[in-house]
Every structure is written in structure tokens, then in C-alpha cells.
Amino acid sequence: MIREQIGSKIAQLRKEAGLSQRDLADKAGLTQNTIYKIENGKFSVGIDVLDRVAKALNRKIDIV
């Protein structure tokens, strides 16, 4: 469930930023397929990857 929530939030933020999955992947140094899997809850995101995505979206990770 948490993977889906994280993925949904990343997709929302990406769209609000006017970025495609490819754009976000390029900015985060990831593949488009990885972004797709994250957004669809098919990939457990480690803190390092989450940090790269957050920085690419000009966001900070809020922890607890």
C-alpha cells in the first residue's frame, strides 16, 4: 500500500511540474522504466532513489 501512495504522490508532483516520466528520469539519473515502476507501485523505493527523485522535483523528503 505504501508503495502505491508514494508512487501516486510522485506522479502528481511530476505532472504539476510539467515533466514527463522521461524528463524526471533524466533529472534524477534514473531510467524511464524505473520512474514508471515507482509511480505504479511496482518498485520499492530506497531512500537514496527517493532522495534523487525528490531533488529532481525540487522537493525535500519529509520524514515522520
Q: Is residue 38 situated within a structural domain?
A: yes
Residue 47: CATH number of its domain: 1.10.260.40
2 pLDDT more than 80:
yes
Q: Is residue 12 part of a domain?
A: yes
25 lies in a domain?
yes
- What lies within 8 Å, CB to CB, of 40 at 6+ separation is 7
In a domain, 62, yes or no: no
pLDDT, residue 64, reads: 63
> 4-55, pLDDT tens digit by residue?
999 999 999 999 999 999 999 999 999 999 999 999 999 998 999 999 999 9
Domain span holding position 31: 2-56
Round to whole Å and give the CA distance between 58 and 1. 25
Position 64 in a domain = no
Q: With contact defined as beta carbons under 8 Å apart, do 28 and 35 qualify?
A: yes
Q: Residue 1's pLDDT is what?
A: 81
pLDDT of residue 15: 98
Give Rg (Cα) of the chain: 10
Domain count, the chain: 1
Q: For the CA atoms of 49, 50, 53, 59, what is the dihedral angle to 10 degrees?
A: -150
Residue 61 resides in a domain: no
The reported pLDDT for the residue numbered 35 is 98
Q: What is the pTM of this model?
A: 0.90
